[in-house]
Amino acid sequence: MKSRNVTVIGLQWGDEGKGKIVDTLAGTSRYVVRYCGGANAGHTITTGGERFALHLIPCGILHKGVMNVIANGVAFDPEVAVHEIRELQDRGVHIGPDNLSISSTAQVVMPWHKQQDLLSEQQLSAQKIGTTARGIGPCYSDKANRSTAVRVGDLLDEKILTQKIRLTGAIKNRIFAALYEAEPMDIDAIAEQYTRLGRDLGPMVRNTGAMVRDAFDNARRILFEGGQGSMLDIDHGTYPFVTSSSVSACGVPSGAGVPPKAVGQVVGVMKAYTTRVGAGPFPTEQDNDTGEYIRQKGKEFGTTTGRPRRCGWLDVCVVKYTADLSGVDELALMLLDVLSGLDEIKICKAYTYKGKTVKDFDPALMGKVECIYETLPGWSEDISDCKRLEELPDNARNYVRRVSELISRPVGIVSVGPGRDQTITTQTQIEGLV
């Protein structure tokens, strides 16, 4: 039987609008599973006139009857989680063991990870990655290092946790003093704080791999919610200017503990233009009035850090590459309304490197290529109330058609505003994506 599961991923450098798509699909899903990243992510959802910014809790939390899973591939920050849970509860959202599960094998982001992220970026100065300072890189480094890692299951055993924190905390204090001349952290206070956090979260900690595999075996619909964007993937992005986990659909099986065939249909979410936060190559960047127009109109400021995002034209070389990497079935084209009012709109459709056209996309070349643009006529009408493709101005419809053609994939939906109803369904084959 064909899987009804869906994986939603970002095809650029994050902030593509995945939250809105996941929120739409969550209504027909039984499980919503985060498999990568951590509190560096920021999903903004507008529902019932209210705006929710979620960092760690999966978007399905706003729907009844959905089990939300923070799986083993996540860098889990218990402090952020407890804070986010309380904030949501204060706004009337129910959260408990019946709708939130946290993997006992997810890695814990510890205070020293956040400190190291900051100190390391400060020291790197001009060479910095431009991280969100959420401790993501140092946490995944400790995961690979093993002996200095703390996993969620450890939070539940005070004795083991205290032992681990004392041992690792002492190591970190010595490293930070030597490398950054930092003041030592209060290890006992950390042990107490994390024991408390473990007590708060304990009822929700589970073997989520077994739970999600069981759901798959019983044909319950699972939605895998990607964080960041594929160009930030640790293996396949613009390394080293990437995040530290496997954010493409390739990361789903190991990040959630499911067989590859559980991935199901893949929806690739892309903006009608490009943005990036942090350092790293960005060939279509418009550090000019056009970029500023997009930034202001698209409110392109980070959900997690508030940083202004770098803005530029759509790069289909990027999107074609990331869509191929994850086997994307359909595209969700977001924020088309932001392009209204521009006389001309450009799409980068190829690169040249040393005077020759680049045939095979290579993220390592991205800082060195020249863009070949195609220029399309813009449109002046406000399209944010359009409900059907036919209602769009000819030039906007033409833009959608050309994007689909250049990426060789159907555009399943077009988004023209943050609201759930500001969505144009074109030819989606994905159940529930309306």
Active site residues: 15, 43
What is the distance between the alpha carbons of residues 153 and 104, in angstroms, rounded to a whole number?
Answer: 4
* C-alpha to C-alpha distance for 102 and 38, rounded to whole angstroms: 12
- The phi, psi pair for 195, rounded to 5°, reads -65, -40
* DSSP-derived 3-state class of residue 315: strand
Binding site for ligand IMP (CB under 6 A): 13-15, 40-42, 129-132, 134, 136-137, 227-228, 232, 241, 243-244, 277-278
Least distance to ligand IMP from the beta carbon of 243, Å?
3
Q: 126 to each of 121, 130, 278, 306, 352, how far by Cα in Å? A: 9, 10, 12, 20, 27
Cβ–Cβ under 8 Å, residues 283 and 349:
no
Nearer to ligand IMP, 366 or 406 (CB): 366
- Nearest distance in Å: CB 314, ligand IMP: 17
Min dist. Cβ of residue 328 to ligand IMP (A): 19
Residue number of the CB atom closest to ligand IMP: 278
Cβ-based nearer residue to ligand IMP, 111 or 137: 137
The angle formed by the CA atoms of residues 414, 415 and 418, to the nearest 5 degrees, is: 170
DSSP string, 180-201: H-PPPP-HHHHHHHHHHHHHHH
Closest contact distance (angstroms) between CB of 61 and ligand IMP is 18
Q: Which is nearer to ligand IMP, 301 or 373 (CB)?
A: 301
What's the min distance (Å) between Cβ of 374 and ligand IMP?
26
Query: 88 vs 279, which CB is nearer to ligand IMP?
Result: 279
Between CA 223 and CA 25 the distance in angstroms is: 8
**Contact 37/136 with Cβ under 8 angstroms?**
yes
Burial-class residue 357 by CB neighbours within 10 Å (0-12, 13-18, 19+).
Answer: exposed
Give the residue from 383, 319, 376 showing the smallest Cα distance to 345. Answer: 376
